[in-house]
Amino acid sequence: MIELQDVHKRFGGEAAAVAGVSLTVARGEIFGVIGRSGAGKSTLIRLVNLLERPSAGRVLIDGQDVTALEGEGLRALRRRIGMIFQQFGLLGSRSVAENVALPMKLAGDRSGAEIKARVAALLERVGLADHARKYPAQLSGGQKQRVGIARALATDPAILLCDEATSALDPETTRSILALLDGLNRELGLTILLITHEMDVVRDICDRVAVLDRGRVVEIGAVADLFLKPSHPVTRALIAEAEHRETPVRQAGGRRVRVTLTGAAAETPFLTEATRGLEVDLTILDGRIGRTRDRPYSQLLLAVGGRDAEQALARLAACAELEELAA
Ligand SMILES: Nc1ncnc2c1ncn2[C@@H]1O[C@H](COP(=O)(O)OP(=O)(O)OP(=O)(O)O)[C@@H](O)[C@H]1O
């Protein structure tokens, strides 16, 4: 659906903002790109709808090379790709309904009555049916982003690009906007490419994620895999920051193992089962329990000692992924 092939973007003589990125976003997927400030995220997402032109490489949408599109071809592409922004990008002099109607008016392929009906339906869907006549300045940040989403969907795009769409919002409003995007993805099969510097956003809503560092993808994969077994230092640091913690502070004797379970197994009493009837000293040194978009996970750092430690570890290994760490 979205395919970037060895895409580069250089501004003047500076180091390349995007330095050879290749990735594919499947139809109907929510794909996240995460990275620190300056990593090249905004540039990357703007290359998809050609708000920026690649210096080298190709951008394909549904198999079509769009890199060289101009004029009507480019306008048609932008109607297939909606976009929302951190600062919402609404026109302050237009009402909510007028903001949402604008892309349809510009496209010029719907009657006034059709536009009116579609604006009403879109505002209803984003929960703003009662705010059509208001102006952006009268809305909260979350409401403004809802207008942004309605406007982005006005031309019925198959793809939605989200450029730090929740970064200006508080945590609760962020969750409500993510829930809206999640629902739209499921209902409409909307493909969503989002960029963010927040690992929480990726964990809650994305299917897959790429980590961008200095214009390059340093790690890519399913969110649960990357989140629970990060291999690149940048990924590790982003996760540690999101969880507000350093590596474990507790100490205990015995063998140190990291136990990871995802899916239904994560919600079983696996510690009880692993130690039932055994003489084991089990200390939980650290733990992460939560869920990614599609599955629950439990990841515990344990110290396992006592006479039957071996047996308990064997039982754990049978139901979980087990990684032994240096003591
Ligand atoms: N129009 C431009 N002209 C010159 N340099 C640019 C332009 N846009 C971006 N850059 C540079 O490209 C690099 C990547 O910027 P970009 O905004 O894509 O990163 P980012 O990961 O989105 O960061 P942030 O989250 O801070 O926006 C930076 O060094 C930036 O200064």
Question: What are the backbone angles phi and psi of residue 3, rounded to the nearest 5°?
Answer: -130, 125
Q: Which amino acid is at 325?
A: L
Q: Indicate whether 224 belongs to any domain.
A: yes
Q: At 304, is the secondary structure helix, strand, or coil? A: strand
Check whether residue 73 and residue 213 sit in a common domain: yes
Check whether residue 237 and residue 156 sit in a common domain: yes
Classify strands 208-213 and 216-222 as parallel, antiparallel or unpaired: antiparallel
Q: Which of 212, 241, 270 is the C-terminal boundary of a domain? A: 241
Check whether residue 165 and residue 227 sit in a common domain: yes
Please tell me the residue having the least CA distance from ligand 1 atom 24.
37
Assign residue 12 the CATH number of its domain: 3.40.50.300
Q: Indicate whether 101 belongs to any domain.
A: no
Q: Indicate whether 290 belongs to any domain.
A: yes
Cα separation, 156 vs 161, in Å, equals 13
ipTM tops 0.90: yes
Check whether residue 43 and residue 168 sit in a common domain: yes
Check whether residue 79 and residue 159 sit in a common domain: yes
Check whether residue 205 and residue 315 sit in a common domain: no
Using left for φ > 0, alpha for ψ between -120 and 50, and beta otherwise, residue 298 falls in: beta
Q: At 105, is the secondary structure helix, strand, or coil? A: helix
Handedness of CA 196, 199, 202, 205 (dihedral sign): negative
Please tell me the residue having the least CA distance from ligand 1 atom 7.
11
Residue with tokens 């409500």: 176
Q: At 10, is the secondary structure helix, strand, or coil? A: coil
| Tokens matching residue 322 | 């087990």
Residue with tokens 């609404």: 90
Q: At 254, is the secondary structure helix, strand, or coil? A: coil
- Residue 287's H or E segment, with its range, is strand 281-291
Q: Which of 23, 74, 73, 6 is nearest to 195 (CA)?
A: 23
Q: Which of 241, 269, 291 is the C-terminal boundary of a domain? A: 241
CA of 23 to the centre of ligand 1 (A): 20
In order of 219, 243, 248, 316, the CA distances from 258 in angstroms are 21, 17, 12, 10
Residue 225 CA to its chain's centroid (Å): 14
Q: Mutate which of 8, 9, 42 to test ligand 1's pocket (most atoms within 8 Å of Cβ)?
A: 42
CA of 147 to the centre of ligand 1 (A): 26
Cα separation, 269 vs 247, in Å, equals 25
Ligand 1 atom showing the smallest separation from residue 46 Cα:
18
Check whether residue 229 and residue 272 sit in a common domain: no
Q: Which residues form the pocket of ligand 1, taking CB atoms under 6 Å from any ligand atom?
A: 11, 14, 17, 35, 37-43, 197
Check whether residue 235 and residue 303 sit in a common domain: no
Q: In terms of residue numbers, what domain contains 277?
A: 257-324
Check whether residue 153 and residue 182 sit in a common domain: yes
Q: Indicate whether 102 belongs to any domain.
A: no
Q: Indicate whether 199 belongs to any domain.
A: yes
- Contact by Cβ (8 Å): 3, 182: no
Q: Indicate whether 305 belongs to any domain.
A: yes
Domain count within the chain = 2
Q: Indicate whether 108 belongs to any domain.
A: no
Check whether residue 279 and residue 223 sit in a common domain: no
pTM of the model: 0.92
Cα separation, 322 vs 278, in Å, equals 19
- Residue 224's H or E segment, with its range, is helix 223-228
pLDDT per residue of the chain (327 residues) written in tens, 0 to 9: 999 999 999 998 778 999 999 999 999 999 999 999 999 999 999 999 999 999 999 999 999 999 989 999 999 999 999 999 999 999 999 999 999 999 999 999 999 999 999 999 999 999 999 999 999 999 999 999 999 999 999 999 999 999 999 999 999 999 999 999 999 999 999 999 999 999 999 999 999 999 999 999 999 999 999 999 999 999 999 998 888 766 666 677 889 999 999 999 999 999 999 999 999 999 999 899 999 998 999 999 999 999 999 999 999 999 999 999 887
In order of 83, 104, 159, 196, 212, the CA distances from 36 in angstroms are 21, 35, 24, 9, 8
Q: Which of 214, 241, 268 is the C-terminal boundary of a domain? A: 241
Q: Which amino acid is at 19?
A: A
Q: Indicate whether 47 belongs to any domain.
A: yes
Check whether residue 228 and residue 274 sit in a common domain: no
Check whether residue 78 and residue 171 sit in a common domain: yes
CA of 134 to the centre of ligand 1 (A): 34
